[in-house]
């Protein structure tokens, strides 16, 4: 048996259990995540971090004008000095962040889904003041992308609760 035939056989055998369990990709056309795309409208951002968070969320889930669901969120960040030089001055800063979220009917009512996403990123504080401020802003932007992506993954996993 040639190696090409073996690879085909192994691939077929590997896919067989997935077909038997009803596996379907979350983001496929007609999949659970596709059913909620453009149907969840985040609350309006109130600061720069929330703006970055909402922008990424809308990139992934679509912009939802008259959506049946509303997303509420609360973002918290905290800086922790992680690298210290001999003078005990932080040279590396870890930016920790979390977002508590809930999805409720847009017309009002109790949340249907809720959760929390957490992550971290870091930046160097060894350059000039301008370089450090730029690095901090970039780290904040990266953190908001990570948190929004985690939120989208959680919503996709629980999309059945929001399906029409």
The structure's pTM equals: 0.81
Range of the domain at 56: 3-162
Neighbours of 71 (CB within 10 A): 22
Give DSSP secondary structure letters for 17-31.
HHHHTT---TTSTTS
Q: Which residue has the higher pLDDT, 78 or 3?
A: 78
pLDDT in tens, 48-59: 999 999 999 999
In sequence order, what are the residues at sequence separation of 6 or more whose Cβ sits closer than 8 angstroms to the Cβ of residue 23?
A: none
pLDDT in tens, 38-47: 899 999 999 9
Q: Indicate the number of domains in the chain.
A: 1
**Which CATH number do you get for residue 79?**
3.30.160.150
Provide mean pLDDT across the span 129-148. 96
Q: Which two tokens stand for residue 122?
A: 């870091």
């Amino acid at each position: 048996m040639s190696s090409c035939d073996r690879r085909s056989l192994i691939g077929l055998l590997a896919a067989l259990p997935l077909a038997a369990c009803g596996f379907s990709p979350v983001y496929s056309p007609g999949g659970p995540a596709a059913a909620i795309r453009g149907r969840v409208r985040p609350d309006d951002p109130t600061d720069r971090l929330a703006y970055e968070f909402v922008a990424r969320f809308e990139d992934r889930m679509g912009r939802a004008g008259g959506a049946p669901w509303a997303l509420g969120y609360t973002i918290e960040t905290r800086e922790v000095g992680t690298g210290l030089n001999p003078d005990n001055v932080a040279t590396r800063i870890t930016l920790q962040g979390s977002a508590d979220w809930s999805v409720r009917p847009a017309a009002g009512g109790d949340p249907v889904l809720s959760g929390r996403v957490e992550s971290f990123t870091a930046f160097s504080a060894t350059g000039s003041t301008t370089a450090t401020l730029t690095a901090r802003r970039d780290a904040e932007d990266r953190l908001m992308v990570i948190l929004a992506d985690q939120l989208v993954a959680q919503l996709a996993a629980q999309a059945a609760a929001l399906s029409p």
